[in-house]
Amino acid sequence: MPRALILGGARTPFVKAGTAFAELDVLDLARAATAEALARTELDPGQVDEVIFGNVARPVAYHNLAREVVLSLSMPAGIPAFTVGLACASACVAITSAADHIVTGNADVVLAGGSESLTNVPLTLTPRLARALIAASQAKSLPAKAQSLAEVRLSDIAPVAPGIRETSTGLTMGESAERMAAMNGIARRDQDAWALGSHQRAAAGWDDGRLSAEVGPVYLDGHAVTDDNHIRRDSTLEKLGTLRPVFDREHGTITAGNASPLTDGAAAVVLASEARARTLGREPLASIRSYAYAAVDPADQLLIAPAYAIPIALRRAGLTLDDIDLFEMHEAFAAQVLSTLVVLEQNGVGRIPREKLNVMGGSIALGHPFGATGARVVLTLANEMKRRGARYGLASVCAAGGNGAAIVLERAA
Amino acid sequence: MIASADRVAPPSTAARPSVTFVPPDESGVARIVIDRPDDRVNALDVRVLEDLAAAIAAARVASPRGLVVASAKPTQFVAGADLDMLRGGSQADAEGASRAMQRVLDDLAALPFTTVAAINGPAIGGGLEIALACDVRIMADAPNARVGLTETRLGLLPAAGGTQRLPRLIGLPRALDMILTGRQLAPRRALQAGVVDEVVHPAVLLRAATDHALRDRKRRAPGGRSLAERAATWLAPARAFALRRARAQTLAETRGLYPAPLKALDAVATGLTKGMPSGLEAEARAFGELATGETARNLIALAMLTLRQRKAALAGLGAPRAIANVGVVGLGFMGSGIAQAAAAGGLRVRARDRDAAAVAKGLSTIRQLTTDAARKGVFDRRDAARIVGRVSGGDDLTGFANADLVIEAVFEELGTKRRVIEELERVVRTDTVIASNTSALPIGEIARGARAPERIVGMHFFSPVHKMPLLEIVRPAGADPDAVATAVAAANALGKTPIVVNDGPGFYTTRVLSTMIGEAFVMLGEGVSMEAIDRAMTTFGWPVGPLQLVDEVGLEVAGHAGETVARARGIAGPSIVNALVAEGFKGKHRGGGFYRYEGKRRTPNPRVAELLKAAPGPVTEDLAERLTLVFVNEATRCLEEEILRSPGEGDLGAVLGLGFPPYLGGPFRYADALRQTIVTSLERLAAAHGERLAPTEALRSRRPFFGL
């Protein structure tokens, strides 16, 4: 069976929304990650067969973000490109689609990534205002136009921010995570400890160069943004303990400190067939061994699906949890990570040792640009597997709607 | 089907006319199609003119509802007159040629039905004049489509009624701007100026032209868009004012050295004041005078050299390799300019500088250069975004393994350059060409110690890169001919005119320039004032005087180049420059140099005279002659020593790179024209100032540099 190889990749620094990348939109970030990924894999863009990008908050201007990446970077115009959406696991879909296309012989080199600007979230109009404006634009006469607009109320003028509530449950992400914490008995102190670990490991990753190695600077007008800016080096359990719960002020456990922040950033990886990697003389980081998507009822535990995707991906790989040397799990909330570990154990899949999991921190410290996170965890995992000479690695990402993704990587050589 | 039959048995070219009349179709619109046989481009020559006259006569007889004038060349309308037409003719011949073109286009203008020009590509010079003789002009929104009357750039003037019809169409002020500067307008700007009536997608051009031929009426030329423009065109006092101002400006810009713009101005003025027949008369007479004059001959020769150089530069070299990806090391002002030119030329660029901040600064310069060019209409906004999209950068050599050509533009210091080459050799492919951008360091020295020195060549860019049209390619001994050819191909891709020179201190351009500047330093030592030197040179036609130029370039760079050249030639080095640098005078923007700069004011730096200890003396000789002849003499020495391959490349390098006065055609053409005078003068100068000024053997031999 042919395998899809990960040749390499790069990401932009991940920065808190509204900070260093406030002037950039989702395309600017996607371009920066793509250009850097191409440079690092020493690829001529002409060798790329396909570009796939994940993105969640889609600006109306980019019907197909991936295609805009191709065109705005002056890559050959003949490269087809498409954009995928699976909420926070969007870039996982980009990567597994790329792998499928390569394994089935439909492509030899695919650039897959994800990008998100949570600073520049597209705002929409209230349905009443939108209907009225469209009716007015279609009306033939001026009085008819005025008539169409007559029903609009003052409150309709304010734009609507994109939904952060689950459509089916009406709960926000945080409320859903609170519910998971309660159901799995995850204490506030354990969540804070997890968050602290995430920051400490991320800081160590930057200090020893492992994390900086995956990041390419973004050049703004006259200056360069080189670092992630959310990592808190001065965090302590005491400080985290003083933060007030955000979603359930009375009985809650989830604070700004043990949840992932709103983040701007992008990441991209280059995948290739074994034959092409050989012709190009590139040494891959890892190969895609298997993957799985799973879903649960959002009304139950919204972010628990990775606990179900992981055993499926392992079964498809013919492996057990104990075979895995290294894990990268997206940290939407410390409560969600800890819940996933509990459920994996409850269901008999196994126990993931802390020393193998998120060894350079996770989304709580690094940040979580929705569309990009899937590519970030795969890139981080592949790089670290290469450094350690690890045989197997597993990446997982939870997503809105009760979805979850798991990808098993294997040492390429 | 007909086309395939043609391919099997091509009709004899003598049988196929250059211009065809296509009788009216069912809509009632006829066409005149211009298609010069055996050439990629349509250029006006005697046959095209005769065939056009016949087609116009046929059109008058057919009396269609309307007429479209079009070109059968893809994305080419008519690119101007065939310059070979002018060669060797007398003044009367040239005047006659102008009258003949005027008559044919008068006939076109006099047709009693609506005529529409379908401009599908460049309509330059005579090409635009054909379109101006039509009632309506429709232009395709093609990337290469331009309209312009560029004759004054060749020392000529529009001679097929262009000086008459353009001001009547778009008004005196805009017409003068186009005619006197030779400016070419892209479709949107042509529409804004009123030169064309509509801009459409190329695929729609013929349909749109046909629609206009059916719909539009014949009409009087408006003489401009705005009231002010019309007043300047039709009202005598306003017109006189506009003409006076244009004349004063032209005189200031040409310093009276270039007759063509003034003659064009006269023809325009005569036509508007005394009527079109007088204007056409003035136009034809002026054309006769200009076409046989020395200036036009020299400017045309330069234009032909430039045109042919794209291919000629490759002569005797190897096969150029394909270039798609370029690496640039060093993103200072020079490196940024190089990267921007490469991206604008369609190449993909990966750039490196020492840290992220330097990369960010360079990338923002590239963005700025591109936006500025877009604002000036060099390309449109979307192209600008694409150009910027082709450039990425980093603080290491990531992405360079993929480069077909790497150009290093780091600090001009041998050790630094060698270190960069060593780094590059570790990462680039074995067939990657490495080019060093330097104005004086011998490439052989830079390449010494390299693992594969044969792929290292010199690419001497001129500053500012986006404005300067020349690129001096330096071929060190033992260079791989394919590598040199690749550098030439890269120059072509960057839109620069390449000259190929052999390696040596200062190559060609820096060597002649430094030698001339060195002589200016000697003059300073003799007590001549720097203002007298600089003024004499600009009056002679140089863009700036030598001392002002040193200030612009920077004293350290100029001093370093001068030192390199002087040492090799065994003449005195630029000690005055070193002395000034030691006192902190490093250039125009770096503490001043030979001059002091306060805002816009420029005054001589008194320290210069003090350092030289020279007593000011009266000017007793022609300063510009002495300096220019030193330049010419050194250029011929470069040919003797085979630094230069040909006198043509010597002329191109001098004019395009160093500002040698174009009306003289370049040092070699100048030498051919005034051989005896030059030799005598140099002998006199050598007697007065030293043997370094003695004429070279190449000059004394009296063999012309250019055969006839």
Give the pLDDT confidence score for residue B334 in this predicted structure: 94
pLDDT at B6: 36
The share of chain B scoring above pLDDT 70, in percent, equals: 98
Say whether both B385 and B516 belong to one domain: no
Hey, is the C-beta of A42 within 8 angstroms of any chain B C-beta? yes
* In a domain? residue B411: yes
Q: In CATH, what number does A4-120+261-410 get?
A: 3.40.47.10
**What ranges do the domains of chain A cover?**
4-120+261-410
8 Å CB contact between B125 and B80 = yes
Q: Is A92 a catalytic residue?
A: no
Tell whether B188 and B78 lie within a shared domain: yes
Which residues 352-391 of B have a C-beta within 8 angstroms of A?
356-357, 359-361, 363-364, 367, 385-387, 389-390
- B53 domain residue, yes or no: yes
Reduced to 3 states, what is the DSSP secondary structure of residue B198?
strand
Mean pLDDT in residue range A339-345: 98
Q: What is the model's pLDDT at position B236?
A: 94
pLDDT of A164 higher than 80? no
pLDDT of the residue at B539: 95
Q: Which of B479, B504, B529 represents a domain boundary (last residue)?
A: B504
Helices (H), B20-90: 46-62
Look at residue B301 and tell me if it is in a domain.
no
Tell me the CATH number at B39. Answer: 3.90.226.10
Tell me if A291 sits within 8 A of A408, measured CB to CB.
yes
Span B269-294, average pLDDT: 96
Identify the pLDDT of residue A150: 80
Residue B555 lies in a domain: yes
Query: What is the pLDDT, as a whole number, of residue A131?
Result: 82
Specify if B73 maps to a domain.
yes
d(CA A408, CA A155): 49
The residue segments making up the domain with residue B442 are 325-504
Average pLDDT over residues B213-225: 89
In chain A, the percentage of residues whose pLDDT exceeds 70 is 99
Q: pLDDT value at position B389?
A: 92
Among residues 173-192 of chain B, which lie with CB inside 8 Å of chain A? Answer: none
- The pLDDT of residue B568 is 84
A36 contact B CB<8A:
yes
Q: How far apart are the first and last CA of chain A?
A: 15
Tell me which residue in B359, B387, B402 faces A44 most closely, judged by beta carbons: B402
pLDDT tens column, B422-444: 999 999 999 999 999 999 899 99
Neighbours of B325 (CB within 10 A): 25
B351 with B270, same domain: the answer is no
Average pLDDT in the A209-216 region?
96
Report the distance separating Cα B541 and Cα B662, nearest Å. Answer: 8
Same domain, B201 and B216: yes
Has residue B364 got a pLDDT over 80? Answer: yes
Query: pLDDT (tens digit, 9 = 90+) per residue, B41-87?
Result: 899 988 999 999 999 999 999 999 999 999 999 999 999 888 777 77
Which pLDDT score, from 0 to 100, does residue B503 have?
A: 95
pLDDT for residue A53 is more than 90 = yes
Q: For residues B520 and B393, state if they share a domain.
A: no
**Range of lowest pLDDT (A125-129, B145-149, B416-420):** A125-129
Choice among A149-163, A299-313, B411-425 with the minimum mean pLDDT:
A149-163
- In chain B, how many domains are there? 3
Q: What is the pLDDT of residues B368-383, one digit of tens each?
A: 999 999 988 788 778 8
Task: Inform me whether the C-beta atom of residue A222 falls under 8 Å from chain B C-beta atoms.
Answer: yes
Rounded to the nearest integer, the mean pLDDT of chain A is: 93
Q: Above pLDDT 90, what percent of chain A?
A: 82
pTM of the shown model = 0.91
| CA distance, residue B338 to nearest chain A CA (Å) | 18
Mean pLDDT in chain B?
Answer: 93
- Same domain? B590 vs B535: yes
In this predicted structure, the answer to whether residue A345 has a pLDDT above a threshold of 90 is yes
Domain edge (last residue) among B481, B504, B527: B504
B97-143 confidence digits (pLDDT tens): 999 999 999 999 999 999 999 999 999 999 999 999 999 999 999 98
Confidence of residue A163 (pLDDT cuts 50, 70, 90): low
Residue B708 has pLDDT above 60, yes or no: no
Q: Is B11 a residue whose pLDDT tops 70?
A: no
Query: What is the pLDDT averaged over residues B500-523?
Result: 95
CATH number for the domain spanning B551: value is 1.10.1040.50
Find chain A residues with C-beta within 8 A of B390's C-beta. Answer: 73-74
- The C-alpha angle B264, B268, B269, rounded to 5 degrees, equals 115
Dist. CA A24–CA A400, nearest whole Å: 25
| Mean pLDDT value of segment A219-238 | 94
**Residue A160 in this model has a pLDDT that exceeds 80:** no
The shortest CB-CB distance from A43 to any of B386, B392, B402 is to B402
pLDDT in tens, A5-24: 999 999 999 999 999 999 99
A208 Cβ partners below 8 Å, 6+ apart?
none
A31 and B389 in contact by Cβ < 8 A? yes
Whether the per-residue pLDDT at B14 is higher than 60: the answer is no
Nearest CA-CA distance, residue A320 and chain B, Å: 38
Q: Say which amino acid occupies B705.
A: F
**What single DSSP character describes residue B112?**
S
> Which residue does chain B place closest to A41, by CA atoms?
B399
pLDDT at B378: 81
Active site positions of B, annotated: 472
- Of the listed ranges A323-327, B55-59, B85-89, B276-280, the one predicted with least confidence: B85-89
Residues B375 and B232 in one domain: no
Q: What is the DSSP string of B457-522?
A: EEEEE-SSTTT--EEEEEE-TT--HHHHHHHHHHHHHTT-EEEEEE-STTTTHHHHHHHHHHHHHH
Does residue B77 fall inside a structural domain? yes
In a domain, B658, yes or no: no
Contact A36 B392 (CB under 8 A): yes
B294-315 residue pLDDT tens: 999 999 999 999 999 999 999 9
Contacts B336 to A, Cβ<8 Å:
none
Nearest of B601, B628, B606, B607 to residue B685 by alpha carbon = B628
CB contact under 8 A, A224 and B357: yes
pLDDT one-digit tens code per residue, B139-150: 999 989 999 999
Residues B246 and B370 in one domain: no
B528 and B438 fall within a common domain = no
Query: In chain B, which residues have their Cβ closer than 8 Å to the Cβ of A74?
Result: 348, 386-387, 389-390
Considering only CA atoms, which of B516, B584, B527, B583 is closest in space to residue B550? B516
CB contact under 8 A, B394 and A39: yes
Same domain, B385 and B369: yes
Q: Does the beta-carbon distance from B325 to A36 stay under 8 Å?
A: no
Task: Give yes or no: residues B348 and B467 share one domain.
Answer: yes
Query: Which residues of chain A have a CB within 8 Å of the CB of B382?
Result: none
Last residue of a domain, one of B504, B530, B553: B504
Picking from A36, A74, A224, the nearest residue to B389 by CB comes out as: A74
Query: pLDDT tens digits for B549-573?
Result: 999 989 988 998 898 888 888 887 8
The reply to whether B660 falls in a domain is: no
pLDDT grade for B38, boundaries at 50, 70 and 90: confident
- DSSP helix, strand, coil percent of chain B (3-state; round to 5): 55, 15, 35
Q: Residue B331 maps to which CATH number?
A: 3.40.50.720
Query: Residue B415: is its pLDDT beyond 90?
Result: yes
Return the pLDDT at B660. Answer: 97
Q: Is B325 on the interface with A (CB under 8 A)?
A: yes
